[in-house]
Chain A
Amino acid sequence: MANSYDIIVIGSGPGGYVTAIRAAQLGFKTAIVEREHLGGICLNWGCIPTKALLRSAEIYHYATHAKDYGLSIEGKVTYDPSAIVKRSRGVSTQLNNGIGFLMKKNKIDVIWGEANISKVGEVTVTATKKPAMQPQVPPPKGTLGEGTYQAKHIIVATGARPRALPGIEPDGKLIWTYFEAMVPPAMPKSIVVMGSGAIGIEFASFYRTFGVEVTVVEVLPQILPVEDAEISALARKRFEKQGIKIMTSTKVTKVEKGANDVTCTVEDEKGNKQTIKAERLISAVGVVGNVENLGLEKLGVKIERGCVVTDGLGKTNVAGIYAIGDVAGPPMLAHKAEHEGSLCVEAIKGLHVHAMDKAMIPGCTYCHPQVASVGLTEAKAKEQGLSIKVGRFPFIGNGKAIALGEPEGLVKTIFDAKTGKLLGAHMIGAEVTELIQGFVIAMNCETTEEELMHTVFPHPTLSEMMHESVLDAYGRVIHM
């Protein structure tokens, strides 16, 4: 049957399209349903375009600090917001087209429209109702359209969307979400960023680099709340040095909109109130799963706290319906979604797989300085009653860091004192988002401190700090 598949994946974000490709590799006849843009938020309005923006910010930063490297630039270094945005959109377009190519290569049918699981084994696709964010890449050629499609296995990979706080709902004009923050028509003079997770901090960093007055308001006692407290404190110090105003243990209680500004009333934990006036407010208070309008409730699929409940391998409580990625619960990260999707179809295939260990999912924040981590924070490890060994190595002790002109940062490692198991690694500083994977591999291979100590790290690299941090945990640090 033409409209009949082994697997239909709903949503073509990083979770969905990787799931579809893995399914096709395993020999399943596979289709993917997308209503807006191949590659989903990650590729079109998230991970990727923000990295493009932050790259512009980084180069701007270097250009304005050219003198530090013995260079001089004639005249003033300036920027053009629309050109920066255009570059960022171009990156997304290129990758979006790439997904179209990958679908074609793997013989995965792309069905354009909104999916509804009309019954177990059947997906009804109707024309997209949701107005797309602009600019938008058009759907690839040769997609299938509205209709009813059969599939033995239906995998929901619909992702998530920005959470809206009541009374502070984003309006796209004065109160932005990441969508609007990513395509500013012009640089605002000032912004308030509500929420200091990865999204909030990356925008704070981006706008601050271009001279915008930035205030970050965080309800929890530390910025980057999931990170190790020590790393978070170091980040805060650097941000404040850059001129970002940071208010922790503080919440935005009221927002009054003016003609071209907002007045935010904030209240700290002691009940002290004050108002902050800014041109824009970026709401970055997390994301919620896209569980609605898919027919899940009707089929009795269990949903808790806005996410589909699964068994860790994507299986829901209803046979034949699976969920992976953001919609299947935290951590809401693209790489988690990709891996979860692969595991899901491998389990369907009957391959022997284990649910992923969420303690080994790394997290990266691409602010300046970068922050990256995996595993338990020091506080969490202590909370679990583990006896630990902590190693620290600062960038100032690393030759490559000095040569790069990036002497600020820290690599921190946490080991189980009893077994030598690497429990966590936390880093702040230049390029740490590229370094963290070394520790992720170490954790997945279940190395102990011994193997890490016996590993030869190339010189001169920033990675030597990873080695030194491990050595430090066992009192053997060399360059400190």
Chain B
Amino acid sequence: MPINILMPALSPTMEKGNLARWVKKEGDKIKSGDVIAEIETDKATMEVEAIDEGVIAKILVPEGTQDVPVNQLIAIVAGEGEDAKAVAASGGAAAPAPKAAAPAPAAAPEAPKAQPAAAAAPAPAAAPAPAPAAKPAGEKVFASPLAKRLAKEAGLDLASIAGTGPHGRIVERDVKAAQAGGGAKAAPAAAKPGAPALAPGMSDETIKKMYAPGSFEEVPHDSMRKIIARRLVEAKQTIPHFYLSVDCNLTALLAAREAINAAAPKNKEKQPLYKVSVNDFVIKALGMALQRVPEANVTYTENTMLKHTTSDIGVAVSIPGGLITPVVRNVQTKGLAAISNEMKDYAARARARKLKPEEYQGGTSAVSNLGMFGIKNFSAVINPPHATILAVGTGEERVIVEKGQMKVATMMSVTLSTDHRAVDGALGAELISAFKDLIENPVSMLV
């Protein structure tokens, strides 16, 4: 039987992606594991690997095609003993074999290749992708037209509704039951993506009418914008935030940093093997603080508290058109150099949108640093499922009072945003105190 290659879902939230490049051409022989195409999403570029053997009979979606919906037929592979031409003419398998293509990360996740060999850390285990709802991500959801419309209006995710219609199709009664029983999750792509941030009732039209026609350019949201809008609205609406600020004296840290960087071994090109930044210290300090205050290294779920054993710190990386938070895993076991190099790799690949889903999903806390813009202090929005996020301001010389004497020191203000459901005030204070202690006494990070 001919094998249908469908547009794969690279992450549970992926709805569509761009077909960046065909690595194989029509007529090419492929075998399991061969990279056949590159798919680009808002966040990453992924390779599509073949699962079956055969000959690419027909490519249906040319490379460079934007916004190809997940599960769309992109190519047909003629199986063993099949005539590729006949298969191409047939238009594909009658019953789609939707698992013909898998995004590379779905295959056994491996340690990030960029991991410097010097890092003595164990290969980080890929964090499990967020639990998919009723249907595995990317699997086609069958629903009646009416059910689809009702779910859309109610903002329900069809994938999270169990269907009771013919062949498990989702029908009107299922959506109504989900609505009544709250059995469904909110749709990942709400009916009006981005709109939840606005006061209810403000339609696109209403907003647009407030500005003179022609005085603005209208740019449709890409999926990253939609996800940012949805997730942060969700965070602000469902997470009771509170904020704790402290000022940290960086004098000792800066000295340590200088010493560490000066001592960095050089490679053949006489380039240092690492250059540790203040932010790397911040990541390390937060990771260690979470180990010192393990009650704060948690995730709140509806029914339980997930108490994490590792400190996996997401670090917000600004990229054109949005941001992404790759997660540095097992920070508690990693040295500064390892963290530093890992971050450099993450940042570069984030900007190239080449991060794999398991590299930006999960995590227990996060760091958002706007110090490079001269921001003194700010509060960040918690990125679920984290319980905390540390907003880091600029390091600047300030006059401080020490033992009754005025003194100039390099100070850095940080603000911890905390999910009160998971971490109460005193516990949050304990965490940020531990952080401050580590930052101000960087030597203690060595233990």
Contact = CB atoms under 8 A, between A and B. Distances in A.
B344 to A, nearest CB: 51
Contact of A446 (B153, B164, B172): B172
A421 B146 contact: yes
A410 B396 CA distance: 81
A445 interface: yes
B387 interface: no
Contact of B147 (A352, A418, A446, A451): A446
B171 interface: yes
A448 B149 contact: yes
Interface string B140-157: 000011110110010000
Interface of B: 144-147, 149-150, 153, 164, 171-173
A419 B149 contact: yes
A450 interface: yes
B162 to A, nearest CB: 12
Contacts of A451: 145
In the A-B complex, the 4 residue pairs with the smallest Cβ-Cβ separation, listed nearest first, are A446-B144, A446-B146, A448-B145, A447-B145
A420 interface: yes
A237 interface: no
A382 interface: no
Nearest to B152: A419
Nearest to A450: B145
Given A354-B164, A446-B171, A446-B172, A420 B144 contact: no
B146 A419 contact: yes
Interface in A440-457: 445-448, 450-451
Nearest to B170: A446
A474 to B, nearest CB: 14
Contacts of A352: 164
25 contacts: A352-B164, A354-B164, A419-B146, A419-B149, A419-B150, A419-B153, A420-B146, A420-B149, A421-B146, A421-B172, A445-B144, A445-B145, A446-B144, A446-B145, A446-B146, A446-B171, A446-B172, A447-B144, A447-B145, A447-B146, A448-B145, A448-B146, A448-B149, A450-B145, A451-B145
Nearest to B172: A446
Residue among B144, B146, B150, B172 with most chain A CB within 10 A? B146
Nearest to A352: B164
A421 B164 CA distance: 19
Interface in A415-431: 418-421
Main secondary structure of the interface of B (DSSP, over half): helix
Contacts of B173: 354
Contacts of A419: 146, 149-150, 153
Contacts of B153: 418-419
Nearest to A421: B146
A206 B144 CA distance: 42
Contacts of A354: 164, 173
A445 B142 CA distance: 12
Contacts of A418: 153
A68 B146 CA distance: 46
A421 B148 CA distance: 11
B154 to A, nearest CB: 10
A353 B43 CA distance: 44
A354 B174 CA distance: 12
Nearest to B143: A446
Nearest to B171: A446
A387 to B, nearest CB: 14
Nearest to A452: B145
A360 to B, nearest CB: 11
A450 B144 CA distance: 12
Residue among B147, B149, B164, B173 with most chain A CB within 10 A? B149
Given A445-B144, A446-B171, 19 more contacts: A352-B164, A354-B164, A419-B146, A419-B149, A419-B150, A419-B153, A420-B146, A420-B149, A421-B146, A445-B145, A446-B144, A446-B146, A446-B172, A447-B144, A447-B145, A447-B146, A448-B145, A448-B146, A450-B145
A226 B12 CA distance: 50
A451 B145 CA distance: 8
Contacts of A420: 146, 149
A421 B171 CA distance: 12
Nearest to B147: A446
A478 to B, nearest CB: 22
Contacts of B147: 446
A421 B172 CA distance: 10
Interface in A351-407: 352, 354
B175 to A, nearest CB: 10
A446 B150 CA distance: 11
B387 to A, nearest CB: 39
Contacts of B150: 419
A418 B171 CA distance: 17
Contacts of B149: 419-420, 448
Contacts of A445: 144-145
A261 B149 CA distance: 61
A242 to B, nearest CB: 40
B168 to A, nearest CB: 10
Contacts of B172: 421, 446
A354 B172 CA distance: 13
A445 B147 CA distance: 10
Contacts of B145: 445-448, 450-451
A447 B169 CA distance: 13
A476 B149 CA distance: 21
A446 B163 CA distance: 14
A447 B146 CA distance: 6
A450 B147 CA distance: 13
Residue among A418, A446, A447 with most chain B CB within 10 A? A446
Nearest to B153: A419
A419 B152 CA distance: 10
B169 to A, nearest CB: 9
Nearest to A354: B164
Contacts of A448: 145-146, 149
Contacts of B144: 445-447
Contacts of A447: 144-146
Nearest to A418: B153
A451 B148 CA distance: 12
A316 B195 CA distance: 51
A60 to B, nearest CB: 44
A445 B144 CA distance: 6
Contacts of A421: 146, 172
Contacts of B164: 352, 354
Contacts of A450: 145
A3 B59 CA distance: 65
A58 to B, nearest CB: 37
A451 B147 CA distance: 13
A352 B164 CA distance: 9
A354 B177 CA distance: 14
A217 B55 CA distance: 77
Interface string A253-287: 00000000000000000000000000000000000
A298 B146 CA distance: 46
A420 B149 CA distance: 8
A113 to B, nearest CB: 40
A352 B171 CA distance: 15
Interface string A293-308: 0000000000000000
B239 to A, nearest CB: 32
A448 B153 CA distance: 14
A447 B172 CA distance: 10
A159 to B, nearest CB: 30
Nearest to A420: B149
A231 to B, nearest CB: 25
B230 to A, nearest CB: 24
Contacts of B171: 446
Nearest to B168: A352
A391 B149 CA distance: 21
A112 to B, nearest CB: 39
A451 B150 CA distance: 15
A15 to B, nearest CB: 23
A448 B144 CA distance: 9
Nearest to A447: B145
